């Protein structure tokens, strides 16, 4: 007799599993613990096989019968229902394994050791916030150029043209990696050449006029916000490293007695270790800060968590609070300020470029420059700090300094 819901509900478990038979090979397996599993017995290629149809009551009697009938149709067509289920499951797992998000995560894990922390953080943000919500679960083989263009246009519509181009570049790296590892055959972003609005490059805002530089330095001294942020702003013009390098500085990298800051290659944009001489003014700032943050990892820890450095926009936000808008001064502008004034004053361009950690394109000169200019860089940074003190003090006349002769 066919099963009924009433008969199923009244069934009591025994000391060993027993069957509650329906019809056409379908039955419920009642286990001693009371669990009920739908099973369907069939024969394929002369062999007896069993297919699971789910559990009761999650799968009701009608649903179990529908599943049985679907399996019988496959069997009638010469298809083994069990093997067909395995194939569907394997295809789904392969689809998930070849999704954009999975491949992007794999690529980032391989690149992390060669990326600066700030670059890695930005790449993760690009994929997690701008890309994966729309195509993260899609297999890379199914993502086409129109779909990528729609995604990038969504970023463009916010006015973030540079971000759109950078996102396209990072997505292209994922597709090329998928091609190299045999999981894709083409990069759909390659067909988008010229499809995005061009980026109008503008120089980062920086104050380079000596009198206005003095005003900026005095404003920083008067900053009434976080002491950590004030110290970060006071140190910025003295060392003129990249903002990410400054905010991720660690106390283990700094030798206050030797007045040296050795930035590891992994933190540098060009992946080369960089030495920053600390002027007496820079050492004084760090010594004053040390009692507050010296027991932790970061020189400039985040305001919410000491286990993380200052956030990317903290110094820019502090400058805005002081009244310097984004078209007047930026955190990166301290580098342009130093480069501009040092060149105007007469310091050797090679010395300035080396201290800025810019890469020499000529490989022979690059090899030579790595070991040169240290003494001049030390003199330059101390002279620069003294010069800034003069600007900070104000006065109608600004006396420029010249580098000391060897």
Q: What angle do helix axes 374-393 and 210-221 make, rounded to 10 degrees?
A: 80
Give the per-residue pLDDT at 395. Answer: 52
Q: Does domain 5-95 have CATH number 3.40.50.10610?
A: no
User: 229-241 pLDDT, tens per residue?
Assistant: 999 999 999 998 9
pLDDT at 134 over 90: yes
Give the per-residue pLDDT at 269. Answer: 74
Give the span between the Cα atoms of 338 and 204, in whole angstroms: 13
**Numbers of helices and strands, H then E, in the chain:** 17, 7
User: Of the residues 269, 297, 308, 392, which is catalytic?
Assistant: 269
The average pLDDT across 249-260 equals 95
> Which helix (H) or strand (E) covers residue 21, if one does?
strand 18-21
Q: Where in the chain is the domain with CATH 1.10.150.130?
A: 100-192
> Which helix (H) or strand (E) covers residue 44, if one does?
strand 36-44
Q: 256 and 286 in contact (C-beta within 8 Å)?
A: yes
402 an active-site residue? no
Q: Where in the chain is the domain with CATH 1.10.443.10?
A: 210-393
269 an active-site residue? yes
Residue with the two structure tokens 């110290």:
231
335 an active-site residue? yes
274 an active-site residue? no
User: Of the residues 150, 153, 204, 368, which is catalytic?
Assistant: 368
What's the distance, CA 49 to chain centroid? 50
Give the lowest-confidence range in 176-185, 230-239, 351-360, 392-401: 392-401
Give the lowest-confidence range in 134-138, 343-347, 385-389, 399-403: 399-403
Q: 204 and 336 in contact (C-beta within 8 Å)?
A: yes
**DSSP secondary structure string, 172-196?**
HHHHHHHHHTTS-S--GGGGGTTTS
| CATH superfamily to which 210-393 belongs | Intergrase catalytic core (1.10.443.10)
pLDDT at 360 over 70: no
Non-local CB neighbours of 227 within 8 Å, separated by 6+ positions: 289, 292
The average pLDDT across 279-290 equals 96
The average pLDDT across 138-165 equals 93
Q: Where in the chain is the domain with CATH 3.30.160.390?
A: 5-95
57 preceded by cis ω (within 30°)?
Answer: yes
Q: Tally the residues of the chain.
A: 406
Q: 64 and 25 in contact (C-beta within 8 Å)?
A: no
pLDDT at 20 over 50: yes
Give the per-residue pLDDT at 144. Answer: 95
User: Of the residues 183, 242, 247, 267, which is catalytic?
Assistant: 242
Give the per-residue pLDDT at 397. Answer: 40
pLDDT at 99 over 70: yes
- Give pTM, 2 decimals: 0.57
SS3 355: helix
What's the distance, CA 162 to chain centroid? 16
Q: How confident is the model at residue 398 (pLDDT cuts 50, 70, 90)?
A: very low
When comparing pLDDT for 22 and 398, which is higher?
22
Q: Does domain 100-192 have CATH number 1.10.150.130?
A: yes
User: Of the residues 43, 271, 358, 365, which is catalytic?
Assistant: 358
Give the span between the Cα atoms of 145 and 165, in whole angstroms: 15
User: Of the residues 247, 274, 332, 341, which is catalytic?
Assistant: 332
Q: How confident is the model at residue 406 (pLDDT cuts 50, 70, 90)?
A: very low
When comparing pLDDT for 200 and 69, which is higher?
69
Mean pLDDT of the chain: 88
Give the per-residue pLDDT at 359. Answer: 63
Q: Which two tokens stand for residue 309?
A: 């450095």
Non-local CB neighbours of 355 within 8 Å, separated by 6+ positions: 240, 276, 373, 377, 380, 381
Q: 403 and 380 in contact (C-beta within 8 Å)?
A: yes
pLDDT at 127 over 50: yes
Give the span between the Cα atoms of 59 and 182, in whole angstroms: 40
> Which helix (H) or strand (E) covers residue 49, if one does?
strand 47-56
Tell me what percent of the residues of the chain surpass a pLDDT of 70.
92
Q: 28 and 8 in contact (C-beta within 8 Å)?
A: yes
Give the per-residue pLDDT at 365. Answer: 53
User: Of the residues 65, 335, 341, 377, which is catalytic?
Assistant: 335
């Amino acid at each position: 007799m066919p099963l009924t819901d009433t008969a199923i509900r009244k069934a009591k478990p025994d000391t060993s599993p027993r069957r509650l038979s329906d019809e056409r090979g379908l039955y419920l397996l009642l286990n001693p613990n009371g669990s009920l599993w739908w099973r369907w017995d069939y024969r394929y290629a002369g062999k007896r096989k069993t297919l699971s149809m789910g559990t009761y009551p999650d799968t009701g009697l009608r649903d179990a019968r529908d599943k049985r009938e679907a399996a019988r149709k496959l069997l009638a067509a010469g298809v083994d229902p069990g093997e067909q289920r395995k194939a569907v499951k394997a295809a789904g797992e392969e689809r998930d394994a070849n999704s954009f998000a999975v491949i992007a995560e794999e690529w980032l894990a391989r690149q992390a050791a060669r990326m600066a922390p700030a670059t890695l953080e930005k790449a993760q943000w690009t994929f997690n916030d701008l890309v994966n919500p729309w195509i993260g679960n899609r297999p890379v083989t199914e993502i086409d150029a129109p779909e990528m263009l729609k995604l990038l246009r969504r970023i463009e519509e916010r006015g973030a043209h540079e971000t759109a181009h950078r996102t396209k570049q990072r997505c292209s790296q994922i597709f090329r990696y998928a091609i190299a590892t045999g999981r894709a055959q083409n990069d759909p972003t390659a067909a988008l050449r010229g499809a995005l609005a061009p980026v109008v490059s503008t120089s980062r805002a920086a104050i380079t006029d000596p009198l206005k530089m003095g005003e900026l330095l005095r404003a920083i001294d008067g900053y009434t916000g976080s002491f950590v942020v004030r110290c970060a702003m006071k140190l910025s013009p003295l060392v003129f490293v990249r903002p990410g390098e400054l905010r991720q500085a660690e106390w283990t990298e700094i030798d206050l007695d030797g007045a040296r800051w050795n930035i590891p290659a992994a933190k540098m944009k060009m992946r080369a270790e960089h030495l920053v001489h600390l002027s007496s003014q820079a050492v004084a700032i760090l010594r004053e800060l040390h009692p507050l943050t010296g027991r932790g990892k970061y020189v400039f820890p985040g305001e919410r968590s000491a286990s993380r450095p200052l956030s990317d926009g903290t110094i820019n936000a502090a400058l805005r609070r002081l009244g310097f808008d984004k078209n007047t001064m930026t955190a990166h502008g301290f580098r342009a300020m130093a480069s501009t004034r040092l060149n105007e004053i007469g310091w050797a361009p090679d010395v300035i470029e080396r201290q800025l950690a810019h890469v020499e394109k000529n490989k022979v000169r690059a090899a030579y420059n790595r070991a040169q200019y240290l003494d001049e860089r030390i003199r330059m940074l101390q002279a620069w700090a003294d010069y800034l003190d003069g600007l900070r003090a104000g006065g109608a006349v600004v006396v420029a300094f010249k580098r000391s002769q060897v």
